């Protein structure tokens, strides 16, 4: 069924971390924006917090649920994958990102990020990267590739996105774990960083701090707050991220080896109380964001549009908003955002945005599921 306008009824969100009441289910709805006309169809329904998704070669879906469940969706049926690692499910912590190896069709490796306490020390958890294979409905050959330390009982700022570059290196993000003044600016400590490892968990010897005494050798860049978006630029091959600011100052950054991205010494944001923690938005020797949002949109999920199915969007980057519940279509020129268009307004808190192998855009929405955007003819 088609409608001339898209409308949904939602309870107003109280806090970014609050859990909303279930949204109305979408069947097929028509959206007409200034520069966009497309249909929105619910592909997977009845999900709680679908954090991420990947598409398998048979076009089925693997979807992570924050609470610690990995869902296989095929031919309209949802199945829970067995032998999923135990997660530290608190606040923003749980089962987070999922990614396939670039050579998945040959080697079968998939990668998960999640909050864990694999040490069983009772001290909370921290971000963990694992690889595994999927066989007969269960994860097999599981191996932890990286575990951030120390554990903390905080339920905030785990990151955590995963992305491969064109050379096969694995990048992942870990948030500052809400230890603002200690973790992000110190390369001897985990958290508030972007990391680069080999797909087997070993650390490339040309990482920027590999030979630095006491440094965490997997660190690729530092001075980050809580990156929950990461994507490979389809032309330049650079890793792009976005990260949450506090009250204001959400950022898009292009990651460069060994660079300091400023948090918390420089920021466009302020404390949640409205007080300042820095009077600087830029510091010499530190990288400036290519774009920032104030007020914060609470970004999550990120993908570049390369598909011919969306000719007016080609070359744009799509960013989900948790706070305002829409997708920001960011038009780029010379690595700058020159225009934004809001898509799917009020659909719900968006966690993940993916361009699938079939060329269509799929979106993970809290308390709803997975929807697909199909351009209108």
Nearest to 31 by CA among 367, 363, 278: 363
Q: For residue 278, what are the β-bridge partners?
A: none
**From CA 233, how far away is CA 231, in angstroms rounded?**
6
Nearest to 296 by CA among 270, 335, 263: 270
Burial of 113-123, coded b for 16+ CB within 10 Å and e otherwise, reads bbbbbeeeeee
* Residue 72 annotated as catalytic: no
Question: What is the token pair recorded at 49?
Answer: 């917090």
Q: Is 269 helix (H, G, I), strand (E, B) or coil?
A: coil
Burial class (CB in 10 A: 0-12, 13-18, 19+), 27: exposed
DSSP code of residue 82: B
Residue 95, CA distances (Å) to 118, 176, 272 in order:
14, 18, 27
Q: For residue 251, what are the β-bridge partners?
A: 243, 292
Question: Following DSSP, what letter does each residue of 286-349 receive, concatenated?
Answer: SPPPSEEESS---EEEEEE---TT-TTTTT-EEEEETTTTEEEEEEEETTEEEEEEEESTTS--
**From CA 287, how far away is CA 302, in angstroms rounded?**
20
**From CA 144, how far away is CA 110, in angstroms rounded?**
12
Burial of 284-306, coded b for 16+ CB within 10 Å and e otherwise, reads eebbebbbbbeebbbbbbbbbbe
Annotated catalytic residue within 35, 157, 233, 292: 157
* Residues catalogued as catalytic: 157
């Amino acid at each position: 069924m088609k409608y001339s306008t898209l409308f949904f009824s939602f309870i107003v969100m109280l806090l970014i971390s609050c859990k909303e009441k279930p949204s109305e289910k979408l069947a097929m709805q028509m959206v007409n924006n200034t520069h966009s006309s497309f249909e929105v169809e619910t592909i997977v329904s009845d999900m709680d917090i679908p954090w991420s998704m990947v598409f398998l070669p048979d076009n089925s879906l693997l979807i992570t649920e924050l609470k610690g469940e990995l869902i296989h969706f095929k031919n309209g049926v949802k199945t829970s994958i067995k032998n999923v690692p135990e997660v530290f499910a608190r606040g923003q912590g749980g089962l987070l990102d999922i990614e396939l190896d670039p050579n998945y069709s040959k080697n079968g490796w998939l990668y998960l990020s999640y909050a864990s306490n694999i040490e069983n020390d009772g001290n909370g958890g921290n971000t963990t990267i694992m690889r595994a294979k999927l066989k007969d409905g269960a994860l097999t050959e599981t191996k932890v590739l990286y575990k951030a330390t120390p554990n903390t009982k905080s339920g905030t700022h785990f990151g955590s996105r995963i992305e491969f570059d064109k050379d096969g290196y694995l990048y992942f993000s870990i948030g500052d774990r809400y230890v603002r003044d200690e973790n992000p600016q110190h390369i001897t400590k985990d958290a508030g960083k972007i990391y680069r490892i080999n797909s087997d968990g070993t650390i490339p010897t040309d990482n920027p701090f590999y030979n630095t005494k006491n440094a965490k050798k997997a660190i690729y860049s530092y001075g980050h707050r809580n990156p929950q978006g990461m994507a490979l630029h389809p032309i330049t091959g650079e890793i792009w991220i976005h990260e949450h600011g506090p009250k204001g100052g959400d950022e898009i950054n292009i990651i460069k080896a060994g660079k300091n991205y400023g948090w918390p010494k420089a920021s466009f944001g302020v404390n949640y109380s409205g007080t300042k923690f820095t009077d600087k938005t830029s510091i010499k020797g530190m990288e400036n964001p290519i774009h920032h949002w104030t007020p914060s949109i609470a970004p999550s999920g990120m993908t570049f549009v390369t598909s011919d199915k969306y000719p007016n969007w080609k070359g744009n980057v799509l960013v989900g908003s948790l706070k305002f519940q829409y997708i920001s279509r960011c038009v780029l020129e010379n690595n700058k955002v020159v225009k934004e268009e809001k898509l799917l307004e009020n659909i719900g808190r968006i966690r993940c945005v993916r361009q699938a192998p079939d060329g269509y855009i799929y979106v993970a929405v809290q308390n709803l599921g997975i929807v697909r955007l199909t351009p209108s003819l």
